[in-house]
Structure 1
Amino acid sequence: MRRTAPVRIAALSAVAALVLTSCLEEGGDTNDDGHEVEAAQPQETDRLQQVLDAGELAVCTTGDYPPFTELDEDTDELTGIDVDMAQHLADTMGVDIEWVNTSWDSLMEDFLASCDVAVGGISMNPDRAEQVFFTEPILEDGKTPIARCENAANYQSINDINQPDVTSIFPEGGTNQEFAEANYPDGELVTHANLAIFDELAAGNADVMTTDRAEVLYIANEYDALCATLPDETFDYSLMGYMLPQDDATFKHYVDQWLTIALNDGTYEDIAEPWVGNVELSMDN
């Protein structure tokens, strides 16, 4: 049952203040002999304080992965579940957002150089975790195929897709390319701009795309010609989360506190509903 307690910005601000105070408190205690212990030196200003002082949260996103992030090139407007979640985080902190456009191929480089948070259907994996922290998981997910509805029965397994006469399409960079290259070495593999991939698939210019189940369910609802071939199954298991700077426990603690509340008080559900309706995105594995 959904919990209806609202997110309280003041409460989260109090959490931040407590975390920062514990990091910055000076010494002044005495030892067993009654001599004063040298005061601890304050830490350098951490990411949370930098964001609060600047009044701005820099957020990386690719803008090409609905329902999580999508950029309208005509209006230059970003929409999506994770776009709204990032805005909610910024509102909770009382700061503005600076959006940083990136791509799957340059996501890590751009994040490390320019961003406080990265959002947009990002899979949590060991390679990324070597360089960044992740929030607590948002979704349990996994890779599953989507194809033209009349051909959906032809792509029920990795072996069905790993054939010389089957063309798999995916964006360059990211986990979809990694999965296809690892599992379909005998198939024909082609890359394409992410937002146009499903137009290519619907037009018959490729046979199948294997991507995260959450995206497959959204796209199958948007395109009459396309169907999830295994709507309730995945070929692997993955988690999605938001990327955070590594070795900054204060900032991670704050964002995790915010996210835990948002996932349990109905905030995330309310944000996701216009995109996916009553579809359950997470898998019960």
Structure 2
Amino acid sequence: MPFRSPLRRASLLAAAGLALVTLASCADPQSEKPDVGKATDQKLPTVKTDPEVARLVPAAFKAKKKLVFATAGPNAPIVFYKGDNKTLTGYTIDLGNALGDAMGLNIEWKNISFDSVLPGLAAGRYDGAMSSFSIEHERLSSADFVSYYLSGGGFLIKKGSGIKVNAFEDLCGYRVSVKKGVSQVEALAEASRDCRARGEKPIKSLQFPESNAVVLALQSGRADVAVNDKPQMLYAAQQSHGELCVSSVYQTSHSIAGIAIQKGSPLAKPLQAAVDSLLKSGAYEQISDIWGANVTKKGTALSEEYQKVAAPWGVGPDGRVVRSRIFTDPKQIKPGHAYYYQPLNKGCA
């Protein structure tokens, strides 16, 4: 089915949920205070060095015995701080460390601002980056990617607010909080232009440096709607004790997330092999389920339409990654942003 507008609606997935785990704190939405909460107490799988994976690791990295990875938190449940406000935890950290274990390497994490990650990677300050990066057409001109999970987005509102948002085009006249530097910023700008063209009020986009502040803006009444990646929005609703609700979720034409590496990096094949090793051993699924990063519950099917979009990315019919892919060419991902919306959550507004 062709998409003449990136904001055109299309029902995509059977309803899906995520089991999410930690407790976020409240703070001034303008602050950059990290998410303070309790990390998962579920036991992580033990991952040993996979000889076939280690064989692919370049000698220079074997000699250093480590990789330096950039990430961008707080961004619960993907990456955030433990109660000491110093130690990083979350899906990205646990999965990244497991990938390192499979390669026989340690991962040294550098927590920086989201919009500084790819420039820092291109400048050679990091060996790789894991920070919920969707593999977009535009990003492939400056970085290569190794795929590892399927994400998506969601709209968060205060439960009972009367706001019915199922797509970006429904946001005319609303104040919308969003994380700086992500693809939703562009979607909001385009939707706002469409609002004006239809004679409706534009969208007021409120950009914040991290996901916690995006949610806190909604809780404090500064925003009417929050938009972010699906795991973060479901996490926030789960931990709000009924105050917040995910009005709708969606997938895009670039919802596959990847580990970013420099163009032509020799780490592409060992990282791909490490992801596949964790998939084969079951460690990948255990870690993903602990943090609610799998886009669907096991057994839930993607629509036939979206299966055709996601299958070349190594995504199975239930939305779970079954094999890793290496992305180096912008032609591997269609330009623009086509959105596939799930039905409105009628009990939310």
User: Which interval holds the TM-score relative to the shorter structure?
Assistant: 0.7 to 0.9
Matched, 1:174 2:182: yes
Q: What SS does the corresponding residue of 2:61 show, helix, strand or coil?
A: helix
| 2:218 pairs with 1:208 | no
| CA drift at 1:63 | 1.5
The Cα shift of 1:253 comes to 0.9
Aligned residue for 2:138, secondary structure, equals: helix
Q: Quick one: which amino acid aligns to residue 139 of structure 2? A: R
Amino acid at match of 1:101: N
- The amino acid of 2:209's aligned partner reads A
Q: Tell me which amino acid in the other structure corresponds to 2:207.
A: T
Match of 1:229 in 2: 247
Counterpart of 2:191 in structure 1 is 183
Separation (CA, whole Å) in 2 of partners of 1:106 and 1:61: 10
2:129 is the alignment partner of 1:121: no
CA distance in 2, matches of 1:134, 1:237: 12
Contact 1:67/1:81, CA 8 A, preserved across alignment: yes
Q: 1:1-285 counterparts in 2 under 5 A?
A: 9-13=49-53, 15-16=55-56, 48-72=58-82, 74-113=84-123, 114-135=125-146, 137-151=147-161, 153-161=163-171, 163-164=172-173, 166-185=174-193, 186-194=202-210, 195-224=212-241, 225-231=243-249, 233-234=250-251, 237-248=254-265, 250-276=266-292, 280=296, 284=302, 285=306
Instruction: Quote the offset at 1:79 in angstroms.
Output: 0.7
Structure 2 CA distance for aligned equivalents of residues 71 and 247 of structure 1: 32
Amino acid in structure 1 at the alignment position of 2:269: H
1:167-222 per-position Cα deviation (integer Å, ceiling 9, x unaligned)? 01112222232222232342111112322221221222201122222222222212
CA distance in 2, matches of 1:106, 1:278: 26
Q: What CA distance in whole angstroms lies between the structure 2 residues aligned with 1:72 and 1:120? A: 17
Call closer, same or farther: CA 1:66–1:152 in 2, change over 3 Å: farther
Mark the runs of 5 or more structure 1 residues left unpaired by the alignment.
1-5, 18-47
Per-residue displacement from partner, 1:217-250 (whole Å, max 9, x unpaired)?
222212231111014x4466521111122113x4
What is the identity percentage for the equivalent residue pairs of Structure 1 and Structure 2? 22
> Cα distance, 1:129 vs. partner?
0.8
- CA–CA separation in structure 2 for the residues paired with 1:235 and 1:167: 23
Equivalents in 2 of 1:74, 1:152: separation in Å? 38
Please tell me whether Structure 1 or Structure 2 has the larger radius of gyration of its CA atoms: 1
Of structures 1 and 2, the one scoring higher in RCO (CA 8 A, sep 6+) is: 2
Using the alignment, how far apart are the partners of 1:56 and 1:277 within structure 2? 25
Post-superposition Cα deviations, 1:121-170, rounded to whole Å, max 9, x if no partner, equal 111101211111100x3223333211111136521232221x12x00111
Amino acid of the residue matched to residue 276 of structure 1?
A: G
| Cα RMSD after superposing both structures | 2.7
Partners of 2:151 and 2:231 within 8 A in 1: yes
- Partners of 1:148 and 1:124 in 2: how far apart? 31
Following TM superposition, by how much is the alpha carbon of 1:84 offset from its aligned partner in structure 2, in angstroms?
0.7
- What letter corresponds to residue 184 of structure 1 in structure 2? S
C-alpha change, 1:109 and 1:129, in structure 2 (3 Å) is: same
Kindly tell me the number of residue pairs found equivalent between the two proteins: 246
Measured after TM superposition, the shift of residue 61 of structure 1 is 0.1
Counterpart of 1:92 in structure 2: which amino acid? A
The structure where helix makes up a greater share of residues is 1
**Counterpart residue number, 1:34:** none
* Corresponding residue of 1:29: none
**Distance apart, 1:277 and its partner CA:** 8.9
What's the CA shift string for 1:93-116, capped at 9, x where partnerless? 333222122212211112223111
**2:30 equivalent in structure 1:** none
The 1:49–1:275 alpha-carbon spacing in structure 2 relative to 1, beyond 3 Å, is same
Distance in structure 2 (CA, Å) of the matches to 1:179 and 1:283: 26
